[in-house]
Amino acid sequence: MSLTLKSLQTEMSSSFNELSLRMDNLDTKVHDLDSNVNKRIDNVVHILDAHVKETAYSFRQTNRRFDALDQRFDKLMKDITTTFSPYFFNIEKMLADHEVRIKVLENG
């Protein structure tokens, strides 16, 4: 009986050692997979961060172009207003004089 118990004890000890080795191997594999996943996540984060920065830069460039266009349009409108303002004033004055003449003719 003692041989049987001894052999069972040896066999169980061997089985536990084998299970322990398998668990250690599995733990190592899980750790490696976790490390790979973290590296991939970090890579994706860096790619997305670069994309966000690139997009922000593109928007800033677009905003600068629109600002320049807006300034050119404002200058053009100012030039047009400055150029045609005396003519518009003369036309308004002529129309006012014309209305006065019509009233004088109607009353006179």
Residue-wise DSSP of 77-105: HHHHHHHHHHHHHHHHHHHHHHHHHHHHH
User: Which amino acid type is present at position 7?
Assistant: S
Once rounded to an integer, what is the mean pLDDT over residues 2-31?
A: 88
Q: What is the mean pLDDT of residues 4-13?
A: 85
Whether residue 90 is predicted with pLDDT greater than 60 in this model: the reply is: yes
When pLDDT is cut at 50, 70 and 90, the band that residue 104 belongs to is confident
31-56 mean pLDDT: 95
Q: How far apart are CA 18 and CA 14, in angstroms?
A: 6
